[in-house]
C-alpha cells in the first residue's frame, strides 16, 4: 500500500485518483473517509468540533483503512504531523512525499481558499507567508517518507519498482 503525504493543495487526492484509474489500483482518501464517518464536511468539522478533535478522528480513521497491496491512500496535509501517524504509515506501507512547488500550491489555495478552513480568513499576503511557514514546520515529517516525488514520472517509477 502507498500513502501519499504532502502540503494542502499539492494534489494528493487528484494523484490518488489518477493512479487508481491508470493502474487499476484501489484508492482511498482519508478526508473523504472522515467526512463519510461523521456525515460532515472537513470545514464544518473544524468549525464545530475544532482541530484537536479532527486530529484524533484522523488518526483513528487512518489506522482503520485496510492495508492491501495495489492500493493508494491520499492523506490530509497535516496527517503525518500528528499522533505518530507518520510512523504508523512508514510501518504499514510505503510513503511518498508529493513535493509540489510552493508557488503552485499558493496559487491553488488563493483560487479556492473559501473551501479550506486553515486559509479562509486570511488575506493573500498572509496566506503566502503562512504556506511558507507551514512547509518549513512540516518538512521534517514529510521528509521521513520512503520516496520524494516531484513529477508524474517519479510516481510511475515508484509504482513500477517497489513491491507493495
Ligand atoms: N497535476 C495537477 N495539475 C493541475 N491542477 C491540479 C493538479 N493536481 C491537483 N490540481 C488541482 O489542485 C487543487 C488541489 O488538489 P487536491 O488533489 O485536492 O490536493 P490535496 O489533496 O493535496 O489537497 C484542486 O483544485 C485540483 O484540481
Ligand atoms: O494541511 C492540513 O492540515 C489539512 C489539509 C486538508 O487536506 P488536503 O491536504 O487534502 O487539502 C484537510 O485534511 C484539513 O483541511 C487539514
Ligand atoms: Mg486532499
Please state the ipTM of this predicted complex: 0.98
DSSP code string of 99-127: ---HHHHHHHHHHTGGG-TTTTTS-HHHH
pLDDT digits (tens, 9 = 90+) for 11-49: 999 999 999 999 999 999 999 999 999 999 999 999 999
The phi, psi pair for 113, rounded to 5°, reads -65, -25
Tell me, using a 6 A CB cutoff, whether residue 6 lines ligand 2. no
Q: Is 50 helix (H, G, I), strand (E, B) or coil?
A: coil
Give the model confidence (pLDDT) of 117-144 as tens digits.
Answer: 788 889 999 999 999 999 999 999 999 9
Ligand 3 centroid from CA 16, angstroms: 9
CA distance 28 to 73: 5
pLDDT tens, residue by residue, 39-98: 999 999 999 999 999 999 999 999 999 999 999 999 999 999 999 999 999 999 999 999
Question: Which sequence spans correspond to the domains of the chain?
Answer: 2-161
Q: Extract the C-alpha cell encoding 48.
A: 464545530
- Beta carbon of 113 within 6 Å of any ligand 1 atom: no
In CATH terms, 2-161 corresponds, of 3.40.50.720, 3.40.50.300, 1.10.3720.10, 3.90.550.10, to 3.40.50.300
Beta-carbon neighbour count of residue 10 at 10 Å?
23
DSSP 162: -
Check if 11 has its Cβ closer than 6 Å to any atom of ligand 2: no
> What's the chain's Rg over C-alpha atoms?
15
| DSSP 3-state of 27 | strand
Angstrom distance (rounded) from CA 104 to CA 82: 25
Residue 104 CA to ligand 1 centre (angstroms): 10
Amino acid at each position: 500500500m502507498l500513502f501519499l503525504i504532502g502540503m494542502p493543495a499539492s494534489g494528493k487526492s487528484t494523484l490518488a485518483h489518477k493512479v487508481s484509474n491508470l493502474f487499476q489500483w484501489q484508492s482511498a482518501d482519508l478526508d473523504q473517509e472522515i467526512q463519510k464517518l461523521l456525515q460532515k464536511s472537513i470545514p464544518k468539522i473544524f468549525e464545530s468540533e475544532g482541530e484537536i478533535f479532527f486530529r484524533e478522528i484522523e488518526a483513528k480513521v487512518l489506522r482503520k483503512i485496510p492495508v492491501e497491496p495495489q492500493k493508494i491512500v491520499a492523506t490530509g496535509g497535516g496527517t503525518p504531523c500528528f499522533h505518530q501517524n507518520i510512523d504508523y504509515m512508514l510501518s504499514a506501507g510505503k510513503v511518498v512525499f508529493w513535493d509540489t512547488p510552493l508557488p503552485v500550491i499558493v496559487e491553488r489555495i488563493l483560487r479556492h481558499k473559501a473551501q479550506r478552513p486553515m486559509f479562509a480568513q486570511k488575506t493573500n499576503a498572509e496566506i503566502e507567508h503562512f504556506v511558507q511557514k507551514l512547509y518549513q514546520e512540516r518538512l521534517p515529517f514529510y521528509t521521513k517518507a520512503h520516496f520524494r516525488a516531484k513529477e508524474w514520472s517519479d510516481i510511475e517509477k515508484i509504482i513500477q519498482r517497489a513491491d507493495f
